[in-house]
């Protein structure tokens, strides 16, 4: 058995039997999603789609496929997120490559894309996506607005390599990637919109140790005692890099609204609006440079 696979033992049996066995084995990490995850792993190893998997029935898998499956299941049982095992996650209908250097794009972040598309009505616009990770927000905007010019930044060179690869795979050429912290890569430039899903979780929040989050890059998630360290910098510094009337669009934590309002007002931002996610939690804000 592959040493990475730990204690996993799978019967060498028919596909239908493996589907059941895998569901049981994945229950502890995947809960209600155990069957979905079992099927995704099988589809990966067998290189087939769902319909082909369901119709495979009594067909056996090969010894090589069995070895690969055992390795993948072992990784999952050790808590590695499915997105990292499969190496991809869908965002805004784009198939994005992700790995341990990037946050796994969340469905709630699609709302930032939606708001940006509603707010910026011109055909031409210059937009900066700060802390782009896998490139999710910038690439979604680039795919919807081919005439916008996007600058996507990240402090992590490893994340930028993933983002760059995604841009190439999607043949999106209107995004320029730059390495650096927050405003450093924007020196001397001004934009119509600055958009970011920064880290905003408090350092001691137990959610950082739970589920997929435990294996994601800490620098993309945690932001000091109150989770506001990076949001403070963004709110404090963005105006200089926006045209008059330019907008700042930020994702944030669901319990940060009061403090964010105080910070935004103190820094002179106007027309502050908050948006809830699908769970009804405050999740992002839009503010205008006065
Ligand atoms: N919403 C994410 C979570 O709950 C946090 C993402 C972020 O910090 N930008 O894990």
Q: Give Cβ neighbours of residue 166 (< 8 Å, ≥ 6 apart).
A: 94, 96, 97, 134, 135, 139
Centroid of ligand 1 to alpha carbon of 119 (angstroms) = 24
Domain ranges of the chain: 15-80, 92-288
For the chain, the straight-line distance linking the first and the last C-alpha, in angstroms and rounded, comes to 64
Nearest CA to ligand 1 atom 6: 221
Nearest CA to ligand 1 atom 9: 199
Centroid of ligand 1 to alpha carbon of 109 (angstroms) = 9
Per-residue pLDDT of the chain (290 residues; tens, 9 = 90+): 344 444 567 766 789 999 999 999 999 999 999 999 999 999 999 999 999 999 988 888 999 999 999 999 999 999 999 999 999 999 999 999 999 999 999 999 999 999 999 999 988 999 999 999 999 999 999 999 999 999 999 999 999 999 999 999 999 999 999 999 999 999 999 999 999 999 999 999 999 999 999 999 999 999 999 999 999 999 999 999 999 999 999 999 999 999 999 999 999 999 999 999 999 999 999 999 98
Q: Which contiguous run of DSSP H or E holds residue 179? A: strand 175-179
Atom from ligand 1 closest to the CA of residue 198: 9
Report yes or no: 234 and 182 within 8 Å, Cβ to Cβ.
Answer: yes
The residue among 151, 126, 115 whose CA lies nearest residue 287 is 115
- 92-288: which CATH architecture? 3-Layer(aba) Sandwich (3.40)
Burial (CB < 10 A; 0-12, 13-18, 19+), residue 84, is: buried
User: How many beta carbons lie within 10 A of that of residue 268, not counting itself?
Assistant: 10
**Looking at the chain, how many residues does it have?**
290
CA distance 250 to 247: 10
The pTM is what? 0.93
Class of domain 15-80: mainly alpha
Nearest CA to ligand 1 atom 2: 221
Measure the CA dihedral 237/242/245/246, to 10°.
-100
């Amino acid at each position: 058995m592959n040493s990475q696979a730990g204690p996993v033992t799978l019967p060498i049996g028919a596909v239908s039997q493996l589907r059941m066995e895998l569901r049981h084995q994945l229950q502890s990490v995947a809960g209600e999603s155990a069957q979905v995850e079992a099927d995704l792993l099988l589809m990966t190893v067998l290189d087939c789609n769902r319909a082909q998997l369901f119709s495979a029935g009594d067909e056996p898998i090969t010894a090589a496929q069995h070895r690969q499956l055992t390795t993948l299941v072992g990784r999952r049982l050790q808590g590695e997120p499915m997105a990292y095992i499969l190496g991809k996650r869908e965002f805004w209908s784009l198939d994005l490559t992700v790995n341990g250097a990037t946050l796994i794009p969340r469905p709630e972040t699609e709302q930032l894309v939606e708001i940006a598309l509603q707010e910026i009505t011109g055909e031409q616009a210059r937009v900066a996506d700060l802390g782009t990770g896998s490139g999710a927000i910038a690439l979604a905007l680039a795919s919807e607005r081919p005439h916008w010019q996007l600058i996507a930044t990240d402090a992590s060179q490893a994340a930028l390599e993933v983002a760059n690869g995604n841009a190439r795979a999607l043949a999106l050429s209107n995004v320029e990637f730059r390495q650096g912290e927050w405003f450093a890569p924007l020196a001397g430039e001004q934009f119509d919109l600055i958009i970011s899903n920064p880290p905003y979780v408090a350092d001691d929040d137990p959610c950082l140790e739970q589920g997929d989050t435990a294996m994601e890059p800490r620098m993309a998630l945690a932001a000091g005692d109150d989770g506001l360290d990076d949001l403070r910098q963004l709110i404090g510094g963005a105006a200089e890099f926006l045209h008059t009337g330019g907008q700042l669009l930020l994702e944030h934590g669901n319990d940060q609204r009061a403090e964010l309002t105080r910070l935004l007002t103190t820094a002179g931002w106007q027309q502050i609006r908050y948006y809830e996610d699908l769970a009804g939690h405050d999740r992002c804000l839009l503010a205008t440079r006065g």
